């Protein structure tokens, strides 16, 4: 079924009886050309582009829980392409361009809202670093504006500009950045993939890879064996566990990242604002809640819930940036399991097991990458070669020292 204003009008006048489920609840078949493990944003986007761009026909997405139950439905919805390094900028800008056409491509309202992302600076050195980053972005044709304190004040007058420790000196603004409704992204990709014949199989955990003569021939699941030509793994926080089933040890650690939402307030935030003197970022949802987050919990975990020290740290960051947040009541908080790579950048690559490809290491930033990641992973699965925008995301960069150390923070996930 195609969604349109006319369809909405017709259904509105006829009691909304004509709507059909957005995707089929498929049972696994005995054989597929490509099996995607993980029905998060990246797995579903991969299936969509495999079917629509690369013409692959028999595809299944196997998800151990339900669509949208992982990080894709748990993130703070921020999208941007304000990166510094050559390995990253073209990839994230490709993603931004895909976001800009996503709703037409999927025929689905994902609430793409380009409200701007503003990174604040609090020292002269930090302003220099932002100037450098903004220049690198503009050299790649990405929009970037350096604002002084008055420029920031015009956008967000309620911030604590004269804070004794962290005075606001300006900020780097990407106006095309913003937010996208996260679960709608999962549903939109699922619906489109399903319309192109992809089987989306929920409650189907992959428990083992069948590997014969160095080549993957299928996956064992809680719903039986599924044979296939190729397997693409996109399981985010479960990357280490799943790839260990193929005998691979990844340069990835799993950590919890928490997020928070306040009660609904009148519109106060123009877009996304990030604090430059601590780890705190905030935007306002369409329902009015302030959606915010900060650091990962420092210890390794596979639990989708975090602990109080980070809650305190995030609250301190919020209070230092915008004291008005102290008057708002917290409505909900939750956690997701992050696949933290050792240089803060992702991996989209083949593996030593023939036919087995891996997508992961997204750290804090995998949501904004969803369209480009799916596109590049589909390209890799279909052609065996990396997509032109993802040539730097090879697994062997850790062996050869060609890290993409975007934050310059070194091999410590809790510093990325």
**Nearer to ligand FAD among residue 126 and residue 373 (C-beta):** 373
Nearest approach in angstroms of CB 39 to ligand FAD is 5
Piece of 73-81, 114-122, 192-200, 319-327 that binds ligand FAD (CB under 6 A) = 73-81
From the CB of 245, what's the least distance to ligand FAD, in Å? 8
> CA–CA separation, 189 vs 192, rounded Å?
5
Question: Taking Cα atoms as reference points, which of 166, 78, 60, 76 lies closest to residue 116?
Answer: 78
CB 216 within 8 A of CB 246: yes
How far apart are CB 42 and ligand FAD at their closest, in Å?
Answer: 3
Instruction: Report H helices in 145-269.
Output: 149-155, 182-195, 239-244
Least CB distance to ligand FAD at residue 62 (A): 5
3-state secondary structure 277-301: CCCEEEEECCCCEEEEEEEEEEEEC
Report phi then psi at 369, rounded to 5. -85, -10
Tell me how far apart the alpha carbons of residues 334 and 327 are, in angstroms, rounded to a whole number. 21
Which residue of 51, 120, 235, 277 would you call a contact of ligand FAD, by CB under 6 A? 235
Secondary element (H or E) of residue 79: strand 78-79
Query: In whole angstroms, how close is the CB of 13 to ligand FAD at the nearest point?
Result: 37
Of 65-73, 168-176, 348-356, 392-400, the segment contacting ligand FAD by CB under 6 A is 65-73
Residue 271 CB, nearest approach to ligand FAD (Å)? 13
Size of the site for ligand FAD (CB under 6 A): 40
Q: Does 71 bind ligand FAD (CB under 6 A)?
A: yes
Per CB under 6 A, 386 contacts ligand FAD = no
**Which H or E run contains 35?**
strand 31-37
Q: 145 forms bridges with which residues in the sheet?
A: 173
Q: Running DSSP on this structure, what letter comes out for residue 113? A: B
Of 134, 178, 188, 336, the one binding ligand FAD (CB under 6 A) is 336
Q: Which is nearer to ligand FAD, 126 or 274 (CB)?
A: 274
Helices (H), strands (E): how many in the chain? 10, 18
Counting contacts by CB under 6 A, is residue 365 touching ligand FAD?
yes
| Closer CB to ligand FAD, 126 or 254, in the complex | 254
Token pair of 306 as six digits: 């975090």
Is residue 372 near ligand FAD by the rule CB under 6 A? no
Q: Which of residues 282-301 bind ligand FAD (CB under 6 A)?
A: 293
CB nearer to ligand FAD: give 169 or 325.
Answer: 325
Least spacing, CB of residue 6 vs ligand FAD, in Å: 32
Smallest distance, Å, CB 41 to ligand FAD?
A: 3
Q: Any idea which residue has 């014949």 for tokens?
A: 197
Residue 221 sits at the vertex; the CA angle it makes with 220 and 226, to the nearest 5 degrees, is: 60
By the rule CB under 6 A, 218 interacts with ligand FAD? no
Q: Find the binding residues for ligand FAD in span 4-63 (CB under 6 A).
A: 37-43, 62-63
CA 170 – CA 134 distance, rounded (Å): 13
- Give me the residues paired with residue 32 across strands: 228
DSSP annotation string for 355-393: TEEEEE--GGGTTTTHHHHHHHHHHHHHHSS--GGGTT-
CB of 258 to ligand FAD, least distance (A): 6
Q: Does 72 bind ligand FAD (CB under 6 A)?
A: yes
What does the alpha-carbon distance between residue 378 and residue 363 come to, in Å, rounded to a whole number?
21
- As a whole number of angstroms, the distance between CA 35 and CA 66 comes to 17
User: What element of type H or E holds 60?
Assistant: strand 59-62
**Range in contact with ligand FAD (rule: CB under 6 A) among 116-124, 160-168, 366-374, 401-409:** 366-374
Establish if 76 lies at the interface with ligand FAD (CB under 6 A): yes
Task: Output the six-digit token pair for 241.
Answer: 């566990």
Using CB under 6 A, which of 35, 121, 180, 259 touches ligand FAD? 259
Judged by CB under 6 A, the residue of 78, 190, 193, 269 near ligand FAD is 78
What gap in Å lies between CA 54 and CA 83, rounded to an integer?
A: 28
Q: Could you say whether residue 236 binds ligand FAD (CB under 6 A)?
A: yes
- Residue 77 beta carbon to ligand FAD: minimum distance, rounded to whole angstroms: 6
The Cα 394–Cα 397 span in angstroms is 6
Which one, 169 or 187, has the nearer CB to ligand FAD?
187
Instruction: Write out the residues near ligand FAD by the rule CB under 6 A.
Output: 37-43, 62-65, 69-72, 74-78, 205-206, 234-238, 242, 257-259, 293, 336, 338, 362, 364-368
């Amino acid at each position: 079924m195609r969604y349109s204003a006319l369809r909405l009008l017709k259904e509105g006048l006829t009691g909304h009886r004509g709507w059909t489920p957005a995707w089929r609840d498929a049972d696994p078949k005995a054989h597929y050309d490509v099996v995607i493990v993980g029905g998060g944003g990246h797995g579903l986007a991969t299936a969509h582009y495999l079917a629509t761009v690369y013409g692959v026909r028999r595809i299944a997405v196997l998800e151990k829980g339900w669509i949208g139950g992982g990080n894709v439905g748990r993130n703070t919805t921020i999208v941007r392409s304000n990166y510094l390094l050559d390995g990253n900028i073209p990839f994230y800008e490709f993603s931004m361009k895909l976001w800009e056409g996503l709703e037409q491509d999927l025929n689905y309202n994902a609430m793409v809202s380009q409200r701007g992302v503003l990174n604040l600076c609090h020292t002269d050195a930090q302003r220099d670093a932002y100037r450098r980053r903004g220049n690198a972005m503009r050299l790649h044709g990405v929009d970037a504006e350096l604002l002084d304190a008055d420029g920031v004040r015009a956008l967000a007058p309620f911030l604590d500009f004269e804070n004794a420790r962290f005075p606001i000196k300006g900020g780097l603004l990407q106006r095309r950045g913003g937010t996208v409704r996260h679960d709608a992204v999962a549903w939109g990709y699922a619906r489109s993939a399903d319309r192109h014949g992809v089987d989306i199989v929920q409650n189907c955990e992959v428990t083992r890879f069948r590997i014969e003569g160095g080549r993957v021939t299928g996956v064992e699941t809680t719903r039986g064996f599924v044979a296939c030509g190729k397997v693409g793994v996109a399981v985010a926080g479960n990357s280490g566990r799943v790839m260990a089933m193929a005998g691979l040890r990844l340069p990835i650690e799993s950590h919890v990242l928490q997020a928070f939402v306040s009660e609904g307030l009148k519109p106060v935030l123009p877009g996304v604002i990030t604090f430059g003197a601590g780890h705190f970022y905030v935007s306002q949802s369409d329902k009015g809640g302030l959606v915010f987050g900060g650091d990962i919990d420092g210890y390794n975990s596979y639990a989708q819930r975090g602990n109080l020290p980070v809650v305190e740290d995030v609250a301190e960051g919020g209070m230092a940036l915008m004291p008005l947040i102290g008057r708002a009541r917290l409505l909900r908080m939750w956690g997701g399991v992050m696949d933290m790579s050792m240089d803060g950048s992702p991996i989209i690559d083949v593996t030593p097991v023939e036919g087995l490809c891996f997508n992961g290491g997204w750290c804090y930033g995998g949501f904004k990458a969803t369209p480009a990641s799916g596109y590049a992973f589909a390209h890799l699965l279909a052609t065996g070669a990396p997509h032109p925008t993802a040539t730097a995301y090879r697994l062997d960069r850790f062996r050869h020292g060609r890290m993409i150390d975007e934050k310059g923070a070194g091999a410590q996930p809790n510093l990325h």
